[in-house]
Amino acid sequence: MTQKQSRADSDNLEDEIQIDEHIQRRIGAKLRAYYDELLNEPIPERLIELLVKLDEKERKEGKS
């Protein structure tokens, strides 16, 4: 099977697959809950330090 045939078969399969609306809503709710938890986690101190350094560097380069 060629890559072109494989892609065409994949496209046809995507057209045929239907997910029940109830299941879609449940998946969406689970994903929102997961990402809401991530958004509420504290940002690691090391990442904050790196962002501050990047911001300072960008400001210095913009002034020169």
Q: Where in the chain are the domains? A: 10-63
Segment 44-64, tens digit of pLDDT: 999 999 999 999 999 999 865
- Position 14 pLDDT exceeds 70: no
Is 0.85 topped by the overall pTM? no
Over the Cα atoms of the chain, what is R_g? 23
- Read off the pLDDT band of 26 (50, 70, 90): very high
pLDDT at position 31, please? 95
- Read off the pLDDT band of 5 (50, 70, 90): low
- Position 6 pLDDT exceeds 70: no
